[in-house]
Structure 1
Amino acid sequence: MGLTELIKNGVVITNLEGDCKEEVFKGLYNELYKQGKVKESFYEGLIKREEVFPTGLLLTKHNVAIPHTDVEHVNSSCIAVATLKNPVTFQCMEDSDKSLEIRIVFMLAMAEAHSHIEMLQKLIMLIQNEVVLENILRAQNKNEVIEQINQVYESLSV
């Protein structure tokens, strides 16, 4: 399954409100859980993994976070995307002592172990495009977010 299909299969929330990463995780988790995409243990799995392996990525203009957890917490592979109304602090993936202000979250819920790496590679190609990130932040709904990703997807063949 490609990147766009995984996002279509997941949830997209624009202007999600949350004061901390745990609230952002909870908002996305609740929607994924309601749809049966993840198990009840998914949220705790995210929190525990984030403590050990931070997921904030320092980029040129718009930092992003790519939280995920182990496959045993997932029923059906998908990606949840959230644009945040206000920036939320995440620790940097490369330096956990460094805090980053995040406004875009791509939460991976992969049911197969090998698929995390492949999706991370595809997301990295996507998030290197600052114009796309800007457009995703401006998007008002799921369709607009998917449209922005589709444009990049088609040009990169990811």
Structure 2
Amino acid sequence: MIWKELKDTLIFLKLKAADNKEVLQIMGDAMIQEGYGEEGFTEALLEREKDYPTGLDVDGIGVAIPHTDAEHVKKEGISIAVLDEPIVFDAMGEEDYQIPVKIVIMFTVAGKDKHIDRLLQILDMIKDEQILKGLLAAKNKEEVRTAIQKREKTC
């Protein structure tokens, strides 16, 4: 259950950043500080985002789901940021297409085979418009958890 994994220190509301690199830097460094990423996690994250962009347009809401390889991970975890203003990310699977992103969901997986399962879990979550709208409307960290929890309890 994603909502149970969310630590307050890894939830960012109204995150201000100049560009997507700064967003990834802030979130990646927090993942390291909280013991989820190895030293070099943030750099690996930035490099992977260049090669395999993670921006998605989900019914008009921009979402990015950055992650990196298990070799840079200590344990499984998740971080969510709702950005103050949309920030452009390159689109997943589409060259030369950019998406203004408002929600960033970063995750770590500790094992090569777990990557796809976690990605599918997050993709299933973000296709629910109520979750995305709940995240965008959240005024505090508990409301972020509640938006996700409602969906996960009905599945």
Q: TM-score range by the shorter chain?
A: over 0.9
Q: Which amino acid aligns with 1:108?
A: F
1:132 aligns with 2:131: yes
Structure-2 separation of matches of 1:132 and 1:147: 9
* Pairing of 1:116-127 with structure 2 (within 5 A): 116-127=115-126
1:146 corresponds in structure 2 to 145
Indicate how the Cα distance of structure 1 residues 112 and 7 shifts in structure 2: closer, same or farther if over 3 A, else same: farther
Q: Which runs of 4+ in 1 moved over 2 A?
A: 2-10
1:88 corresponds in structure 2 to 87
1:19 aligns with 2:25: no
Question: Percent identity between the aligned chains?
Answer: 32
Q: Is the 8 A contact 1:83 1:104 kept in 2?
A: yes
Structure-2 separation of matches of 1:10 and 1:122: 22
Gaps of 5+ in 2: none
Structure-1 separation of matches of 2:113 and 2:8: 19
Structure-2 separation of matches of 1:47 and 1:54: 10
Q: Which amino acid aligns with 2:33?
A: K
1:65 corresponds in structure 2 to 64
Indicate how the Cα distance of structure 1 residues 8 and 114 shifts in structure 2: closer, same or farther if over 3 A, else same: farther
2:27 corresponds in structure 1 to 28
TM-score (norm 1): 0.91
Kindly tell me the number of residue pairs found equivalent between the two proteins: 155
Q: CA RMSD in A?
A: 1.5
1:56 corresponds in structure 2 to 55
Q: Which amino acid aligns with 2:117?
A: E
What SS class does the counterpart of residue 85 from structure 1 fall into? strand
What SS class does the counterpart of residue 6 from structure 2 fall into? helix
Gaps of 5+ in 1: none
TM-score (norm 2): 0.93
Q: Is the 8 A contact 2:83 2:102 kept in 1?
A: yes
